[in-house]
């Protein structure tokens, strides 16, 4: 279940970044991003919410979990499992031992993949400076029409891609996507859609993480946001 906690941590931060005509220096942009993101996270600490996560392989559900999340008095994100259900039929004997080994290997892979996604969601100031120096800025199209698209390649590793869509009227993130090689044979793809809580901060709403070559999918949705008294 450790990888479920990692999933929660990845989508806990609702990133925001105000883009204005005056912000032409990459270092200034990175510092502003870090500052506003921290303010947003501090505002999110006043809320609790639920997260529903499903892990699937080849379009077959393997595990579903419902988790309650909140920040404690020390500002640490805490999770309480409300329910968790495995949809994998357990085998016995030698087949059961092989199945257990494969599931453990799958858990380790998912943990690694989620950690990779986290490295793009929560970047250091130096990495942010590099990102904005490399990035191209365009108008969004399709469902992101009216948004600003910020895209760069080879951000953290060679041949990776990171794209942000930002609402220029509010400076709030609307969407984030990554495409990054895990190894020579494996590519990880991820999408996070953001929403703004009514009269509150911006937060990740739906996160989808996939390993297309292995048919693995991880989908998490956050809902039922309640401001703590």
Tokens of 176: 């984030």
Supply the DSSP string of 41-89, one letter for each residue: HHHHTTEEEEEEEEEEETTEEEEEEEEEEEE-TTS-EEEEEEEEEE-SP
HSE, side-chain direction, 13 A CA sphere, residue 179: 7
If one counts every other C-beta atom within 10 angstroms of the C-beta of residue 91, the result is 12
- If one counts the domains in the chain, the total is 1
195, 216 in Cβ contact below 8 A?
Answer: no
Specify the CATH number for the domain of residue 56.
2.50.20
Mean pLDDT calculated for residue range 23-40: 73
Maximum mean pLDDT: which of 72-76, 99-103, 137-141: 137-141
Q: Which of 14-23, 95-104, 132-141 has the lowest mean pLDDT?
A: 14-23
Residue 77 has pLDDT above 60, yes or no: yes
Which one is predicted more confidently, 217 or 172? 217
Nearest residue to 191 (alpha-carbon basis) of 179, 203, 202? 179
Q: Which of 51-65, 116-130, 133-147 has the lowest mean pLDDT?
A: 116-130
Strand pairing category for 172-181 and 148-153: unpaired
Q: Which of 17-21, 143-147, 225-229 has the lowest mean pLDDT?
A: 17-21
Domain that holds residue 8: 2-227
54, 210 in Cβ contact below 8 A?
Answer: no
Residue 164 has pLDDT above 80, yes or no: yes
Percentage of residues in the chain having pLDDT higher than 90 = 35
Average pLDDT, the chain: 82
Q: Would you state the pLDDT for residue 12?
A: 52
| Positive or negative torsion for Cα 96, 98, 99, 104 | positive
Mean pLDDT calculated for residue range 145-170: 91
- For 116, the 3-state DSSP assignment is helix
Nearest residue to 66 (alpha-carbon basis) of 221, 226, 207? 221
């Amino acid at each position: 279940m450790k990888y479920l906690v990692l999933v929660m941590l990845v989508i806990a931060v609702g990133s925001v970044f105000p883009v204005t005509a005056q912000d032409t220096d990459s270092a200034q942009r990175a510092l502003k991003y870090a500052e506003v993101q921290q303010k947003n996270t501090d505002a999110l600490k006043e809320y609790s919410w639920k997260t529903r996560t499903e892990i699937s392989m080849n379009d077959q559900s393997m595990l579903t979990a419902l988790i309650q999340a909140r920040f404690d008095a020390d500002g640490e994100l805490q999770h309480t499992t409300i329910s968790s259900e495995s949809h994998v039929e357990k085998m016995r004997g030698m087949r059961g031992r092989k199945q257990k080994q494969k599931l453990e290997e799958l858990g380790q892979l998912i943990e690694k993949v989620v950690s990779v996604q986290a490295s793009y969601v929560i970047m250091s100031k130096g990495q942010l400076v590099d990102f904005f120096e490399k990035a191209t800025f365009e108008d969004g199209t399709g469902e992101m029409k009216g948004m600003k698209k910020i895209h760069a390649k080879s951000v953290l590793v060679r041949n990776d891609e990171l794209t942000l869509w930002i609402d220029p009227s509010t400076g709030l993130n609307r969407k984030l996507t990554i495409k990054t090689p895990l190894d020579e044979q494996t590519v990880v793809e991820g999408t996070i859609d953001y929403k703004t809580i009514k009269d509150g901060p911006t937060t990740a709403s739906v996160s989808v993480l996939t390993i297309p070559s292995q048919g693995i999918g991880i989908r998490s949705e956050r809902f039922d946001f309640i401001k703590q008294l």
